[in-house]
């Protein structure tokens, strides 16, 4: 099952990137439950050189940290997958920028992969099972599946 909420309230920011966007969530963990504070998905600027898009991402992560003041951050890290090497490399590039931006803010940060998230949610290595488990939690019902990945990372990371 997911890590039990902490005895002391903790604000956790979690981020999940793909090659052209990132989804983020801020979750408050208390002794009784989890509370979704905020969430969104942003696309990198279109028709912009890659370096400028990555710089925008760096600044956006810094802005989100300033806005939410998390106690810690969790990145759902890139993994090699069936989408091909180029997509995986682009995803990893975004992850590196996110980690650098988080590092510049001095927020304690870690990264986590799907197998670990799923295992901590009692779903073996199943990404789909992990998403289903989170979607059925009272606190997160009705949230689109596309926004559940960072929530899953926040509550298990």
Can you give the pLDDT at residue 131? 94
Q: What is the pLDDT of residues 77-134, one digit of tens each?
A: 987 665 567 778 888 899 999 999 999 999 999 999 999 999 999 999 888 999 999 9
* DSSP-derived pairing of the beta strands 72-76 and 10-17: parallel
The CA distances from residue 17 to 6, 44, 124, 127, 149, in Å, are 26, 10, 23, 15, 10
**Average pLDDT over all residues of the chain:** 91
Can you give the pLDDT at residue 84? 62
Most confident residue range from 17-26, 56-65, 74-83 = 56-65
This prediction's pTM: 0.89
Burial grade of 31 (CB within 10 A; 0-12, 13-18, 19 or more): exposed
Q: Does 66 or 80 have the greater pLDDT score?
A: 66
Whether 52 shows a pLDDT value over 70: the answer reads yes
Reported as a pLDDT band with limits 50, 70 and 90, residue 9 is confident
Q: What SS3 state is found at 15?
A: strand
* DSSP-derived pairing of the beta strands 10-17 and 109-112: unpaired
Looking at the chain, the whole-number percentage of residues with pLDDT higher than 70 is 92
Exposure string over 56-74, b if 16+ CB within 10 A, otherwise e: ebbebbeebbeebebebbb
Instruction: Report all structural domains of the chain as residue ranges with CATH numbers, in order of start.
Output: 10-156 (3.30.420.10)
């Amino acid at each position: 099952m997911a890590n039990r909420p902490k005895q002391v309230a903790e604000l956790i920011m979690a981020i999940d990137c793909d090659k052209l966007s990132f989804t983020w969530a801020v979750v408050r963990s208390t002794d009784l439950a989890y509370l979704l504070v905020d969430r969104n998905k942003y696309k990198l600027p279109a028709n912009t050189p890659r370096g400028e898009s990555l710089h925008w991402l760096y600044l956006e992560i810094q802005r989100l940290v300033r806005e939410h003041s998390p106690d810690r951050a969790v990145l759902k890290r890139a993994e090699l997958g069936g989408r091909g090497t180029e997509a995986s490399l682009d995803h990893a590039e975004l992850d590196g920028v996110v980690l650098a931006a988080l590092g510049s803010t001095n927020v304690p940060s870690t990264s986590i992969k799907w197998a670990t998230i799923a295992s901590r949610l009692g779903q073996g290595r199943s990404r789909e099972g992990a998403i289903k488990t989170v979607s059925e939690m009272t606190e997160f019902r009705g949230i689109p599946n596309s926004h559940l990945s960072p929530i899953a990372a926040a509550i298990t990371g």
